Structure 1
Amino acid sequence: MALQPSLRPLIIAGRPEAPQTLDIFLDYVCPFSAKLALAIDGVLRPLFGPGGQYDGRVKVVFRNQVQPWHAASTFVHEAGLAVARISPDKFWDFSLALFKSQGDYFDIPTSTQTPTQIRENLAKLAASVIGEDKKAAFLDVLSLKSSPNGGVAVTDDLKYTIKFSRQNGIHVSPTVVFDGLIANEISSSWGEKEWTEWLANKIV
């Protein structure tokens, strides 16, 4: 499926020109998304990366799946998009770090925090991945604009990802789409065996 040029850092595995595509819709504060993220890192990236079995044949696109019933979901996805803008080569590393510390951004831990405090905590996590020297730039991207309801610098990117999910009927995370069709059979619990067997029947 399509991906606007500014979001190319969201191609997290495989070559951008690969003919087949796995679009994986994940929410940073969803435990099942976190499980699937580990499979992406441990199974799919090696298979689709340089020298991998499917190198040049499949790419994986991270699709931000904001789930607004979790209050902090918007903030964590803004943070991911901010890293994609400031340090695009670190987007996946930051995503993994965020999944591993997702409990800090669950409903109860964030229930007494202001949006500014949540963003400051995300900036600390981002700095551990992209470097302390880029922390100020990260916070600047997530600073509210001068207009009362204008959002932040990555609000338009966030809108794009949400509209993309809506128009394609994606409702839950994780959801995997292969070459444009939802693959409901894929489970967040899949390991190397399940993924390799499934891919063997799908890759052209």
Structure 2
Amino acid sequence: MALQPSLRPLLIAGRPDAPHTLDIFLDYVCPFSRKLSRAIDNIVKPLVDIGGKYEGKIKIIFRNQVQPWHGSSTFTHEAGLAVALVAPEKFWSFSLILLNRQDEYYDIPTSTLTPVQIREKLASLFVETGASVNEVNAFTELLKLKGTPNGGVSVTDELKYTVKFSRQNGVHVSPSVLWDGILANEISSSWGDAEWTQFLAQKVVV
């Protein structure tokens, strides 16, 4: 499983030793990513979780896909990574809330906000996961600019890792999906039960 230790919470379903891997590259402010996230949560994840048909056979990894043509994409992905570090068990629930509320982070709604104000909005969103005061404070600290003029924030290294991973795998847009490390271009954000059932039946061989 290609994940640096600090990003293990990006494994959102399945066991780390599962033989098959579904990597889902999502951008928090991409409407098609929102559609795919709902299919993953409602259709695929239950099949992979405990008691599901493919328990122990598939793991699902969330891959942060920053798309810089969306102005707030970087800020939202920093927030997701900060949650992964301070409250790993809340990462997927935060991601779903953010994807479902992504309209608030589109270009026009955020055009008059400063980066600090956008991060404050994201902290309020984190509260909706049931995060404690200590977790929210830790989240906020991770998203504070460092002392140097161009040093980024405390999750910048994790953000760099996710961007490099996408680039080396030739992933340019969201949503994109890898099955066992190979781009599965046939997978669509519009897939429902029938398509996912057929795909998994054909692909899972153990």
- Residue 86 of structure 1 corresponds to 86
- Residue 105 of structure 2 corresponds to 105
Separation in structure 2 between the aligned mates of residue 21 and residue 5 of structure 1, nearest angstrom: 17
Superposition CA RMSD, Å: 0.8
Answer yes or no: is the 8 Å Cα contact 1:13–1:44 preserved in 2.
no
Q: Is 1:143 matched up with 2:144?
A: yes
1:52 positional shift: 0.3
Q: Return 5+ residue gaps in structure 2 as ranges.
A: none
- Residue 21 of structure 1 corresponds to 21
Any residues of structure 2 matched to 1:32-51 within 5 Å, and which? 32-51=32-51
Separation in structure 1 between the aligned mates of residue 59 and residue 21 of structure 2, nearest angstrom: 5
* Amino acid in the other structure paired with 1:168: N
Separation in structure 1 between the aligned mates of residue 132 and residue 119 of structure 2, nearest angstrom: 15
1:132 positional shift: 4.3
In the TM superposition, what whole-angstrom CA distance separates every residue of 1:47-99 from its partner, at most 9, and x where no partner exists?
00001000000000000000000010000000000000000000000000000
- Residue 182 of structure 1 corresponds to 183
* Amino acid in the other structure paired with 1:85: L
Find the residue that maps to 1:61 and give its secondary structure.
Answer: strand
Q: Point out the more displaced range, 129-138 or 185-194.
A: 129-138
Answer yes or no: is the 8 Å Cα contact 1:15–1:59 preserved in 2.
yes
Count of residue pairs the alignment pairs up: 204
Separation in structure 1 between the aligned mates of residue 132 and residue 50 of structure 2, nearest angstrom: 30
Divergent runs of 4+, >2 A: none
